[in-house]
């Protein structure tokens, strides 16, 4: 927790004071959180978490930020960190002003509260609320949304507000000026430049291989394998050190034994002689004390992942880093063809069945005011940015914060240069059910993996799509279908 005023330290936590000519800042942190600091003349950098350099995988946290602190200004720091991976928050102090920002997708979350010349930042809204003692937000629209069957089923939050008044969530691609108590967008900062598939695949392969090499150099890794594209791509990036990694697949029930994810994962494990386990967390009864701690740590914590995290706790995996392909299917691959018409909060809310809830609509509309301008200026599709910042920024990153009590996670796709490169591919290479961007990158890393079948979560739909794909009309029909949806369903 970061504040510009001293507060009572939580028992067992550490304290670090960040000097600044305008005002000092106090950092309070759990002893298990990696903290790295570096000073150069009047500049100071504090790194919370870990940072990986794909191009220099031998470098440590300290060596990376010692390079960052020598840069001239914040914009140069943004430009340099665009090439880096990890799960981190950086506090950058140039002697006069202090700033805070996170990794490319906001994987290490930042929440904040400003008021009465006081500034607080923390990893969850709950930790900030210990000091600001905010009231629960009794806005009827938020309560209606939170209790709606659509939200209860999906648990996909929208917007920057939290369930506490005056405590907000910093979405990806934004930073905070701590002294001014304002937030600003910093990405995208350059025009989208189209790239050929082969060129993009080489760039992305280098980033993924370098990221996995850096991670394997430092940490004990556990990695998921399934029948899908995202985990296959990360497996390809791990080719040179698969003997050092423990692999697994999650079963959701006894019925999953014959599902493609389980079957293909077992085949891959046997073929490459992997250290492999089938995780059957669904069979566990969660200890009440663990359950209480889990839900007390984050007000939006969800039941759906509780048993999986409890499994890691019972296996004492707290010394491991969990490698996942999170957001490969949400940001990189196009799940639906995006309409070129002007977007609205109502239209976007409809895609999640949230169009009956004013909180969701108004939150997206507020986000669109800045997002549409950025997309127009730099040539990006606003729906791409929506899935990036709202969907992953809220739903996708909450899972990382939930499992902080158990272990750390690594998402190798979490690098601005990697994301920018994938988004620069022609849309036809980003199609969800046949992502040529993934397959071309696998060809660079470990070509034979593309010979192992891929499977859609729904076998019946998969067979239909493959039939149309054989005749070269799958994407055409998909685009036609969603254009009809845009015209007759997403029409307001």
Given a cut of 70, whether residue 319 has pLDDT beyond it is: yes
Q: What is the mean pLDDT of the chain?
A: 92
Given a cut of 60, whether residue 366 has pLDDT beyond it is: yes
Q: Tell me the pLDDT tens digit for each residue of 143-175.
A: 999 999 999 999 999 999 999 999 999 999 999
Are 412 and 303 members of one domain? yes
What is the pLDDT averaged over residues 331-345?
Answer: 73
Given a cut of 80, whether residue 308 has pLDDT beyond it is: yes
238 secondary structure, DSSP code: T
Are 209 and 301 members of one domain? yes
Are 293 and 397 members of one domain? yes
Closest residue by Cα to residue 423 from 324, 325, 334: 334
Is residue 365 in a domain? no
Give kind and range of the element (H or E) at residue 47: strand 43-52
Q: Tell me the pLDDT tens digit for each residue of 12-24.
A: 899 999 887 778 8
Closest residue by Cα to residue 236 from 219, 200, 211: 211
Q: Tell me the pLDDT tens digit for each residue of 170-195.
A: 999 999 999 999 999 999 999 999 99
What is the pLDDT averaged over residues 70-86?
Answer: 97
Domain boundary pick from 153, 185, 217? 185
Q: Determine the Cα–Cα distance for residues 430 and 424; give it in Å rounded to an integer.
A: 10
pLDDT computed for residue 52 by the predictor: 98
Confidence of residue 472 (pLDDT cuts 50, 70, 90): confident
Are 181 and 270 members of one domain? no
Are 434 and 464 members of one domain? no
Is residue 359 in a domain? no
Are 215 and 316 members of one domain? yes
Is residue 367 in a domain? no
Are 207 and 264 members of one domain? yes
Are 406 and 477 members of one domain? no
Are 269 and 406 members of one domain? yes
Domain with 306, as residue range(s), is 197-332+391-455
Tokens of 483: 């254009």
Residue 97 · residue 177 · CB < 8 Å: yes
pLDDT computed for residue 74 by the predictor: 97
Are 419 and 280 members of one domain? yes
Is residue 338 in a domain? no
Is residue 27 in a domain? yes
Is residue 132 in a domain? no
Domains contained in the chain, number: 3
What is the pLDDT averaged over residues 6-15?
Answer: 88
pLDDT computed for residue 462 by the predictor: 75
Residue 332 · residue 437 · CB < 8 Å: yes
Given a cut of 70, whether residue 340 has pLDDT beyond it is: no
pLDDT computed for residue 345 by the predictor: 92
Confidence of residue 482 (pLDDT cuts 50, 70, 90): low
Given a cut of 60, whether residue 295 has pLDDT beyond it is: yes
What is the pLDDT averaged over residues 355-380?
Answer: 96
E strands present in 134-244: 168-169, 174-177, 182-185, 220-224
Given a cut of 60, whether residue 298 has pLDDT beyond it is: yes
Is residue 239 in a domain? yes
Are 297 and 433 members of one domain? yes
Is residue 415 in a domain? yes
pLDDT computed for residue 485 by the predictor: 66
What's the Rg (C-alpha) of the chain? 22
What is the pLDDT averaged over residues 234-251?
Answer: 96
Are 213 and 272 members of one domain? yes
Q: Which residue has the higher pLDDT, 342 or 370?
A: 370
């Amino acid at each position: 927790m970061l504040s510009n005023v001293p507060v009572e330290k939580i028992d067992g936590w550490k304290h670090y004071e960040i000097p600044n000519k305008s005002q000092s800042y106090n950092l309070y942190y759990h002893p298990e959180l990696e903290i790295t600091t570096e000073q150069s003349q009047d500049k100071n950098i504090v790194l919370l978490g870990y940072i990986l350099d794909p191009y220099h995988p031998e470098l440590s946290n300290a060596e990376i930020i010692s390079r960052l602190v020598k840069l001239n200004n914040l914009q140069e720091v943004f430009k340099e960190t665009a090439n880096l991976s990890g799960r981190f928050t950086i506090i950058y102090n140039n002697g006069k002003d202090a700033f805070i920002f996170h990794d490319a997708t906001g994987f290490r979350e930042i929440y904040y509260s400003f008021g009465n010349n006081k500034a607080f930042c923390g990893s969850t809204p709950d930790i900030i609320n210990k000091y600001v003692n905010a009231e629960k937000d009794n806005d009827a629209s938020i309560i209606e949304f939170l209790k709606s069957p659509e939200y209860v089923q999906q648990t996909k939050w929208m917007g920057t507000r939290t369930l506490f008044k005056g405590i907000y969530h910093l979405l990806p691609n934004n930073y905070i000026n701590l002294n001014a108590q304002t937030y600003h967008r910093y990405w995208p900062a350059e025009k989208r430049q189209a790239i050929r598939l082969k060129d993009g695949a080489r760039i992305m392969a280098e980033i993924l291989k370098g990221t996995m090499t850096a991670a394997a150099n430092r940490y004990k890794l556990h990695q998921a394998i399934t029948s899908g594209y995202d985990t296959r791509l990360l497996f390809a990036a791990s080719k040179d050190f698969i003997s050092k990694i423990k692999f697994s697949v999650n079963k959701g029930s006894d019925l999953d034994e014959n599902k493609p994810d389980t079957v293909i994962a077992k085949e891959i494990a046997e073929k490459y002689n992997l250290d492999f386990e089938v995780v059957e967390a669904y069979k566990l009864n969660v200890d009440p004390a663990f359950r209480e701690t889990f839900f007390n740590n984050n007000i939006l914590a969800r039941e759906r992942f509780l048993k999986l995290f409890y499994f890691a706790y019972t296996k004492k995996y707290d010394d491991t880093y969990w490698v996942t392909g999170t957001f490969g299917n949400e940001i990189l691959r196009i799940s639906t063809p995006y309409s070129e018409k002007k977007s609205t909060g109502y239209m976007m809310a409809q895609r999640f069945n949230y169009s009956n809830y004013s909180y969701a609509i108004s939150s997206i509309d507020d986000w669109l005011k800045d997002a549409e301008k950025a997309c127009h200026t730099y040539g990006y599709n606003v729906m791409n940015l929506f899935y990036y910042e709202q969907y992953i920024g809220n739903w996708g990153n909450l899972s990382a914060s939930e499992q902080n009590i158990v272990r750390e996670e690594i998402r190798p796709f979490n690098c601005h240069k990697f994301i920018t490169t994938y988004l620069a591919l022609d849309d036809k290479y980003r199609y969800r059910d046949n992502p040529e961007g993934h397959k071309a990158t696998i060809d660079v890393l470990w070509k034979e993996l593309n010979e192992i079948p891929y499977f859609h979560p729904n076998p019946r739909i998969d067979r239909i799509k493959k039939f149309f794909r054989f005749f070269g009309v799958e994407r055409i029909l998909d685009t036609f279908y969603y254009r009809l949806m845009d015209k007759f369903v997403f029409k307001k």
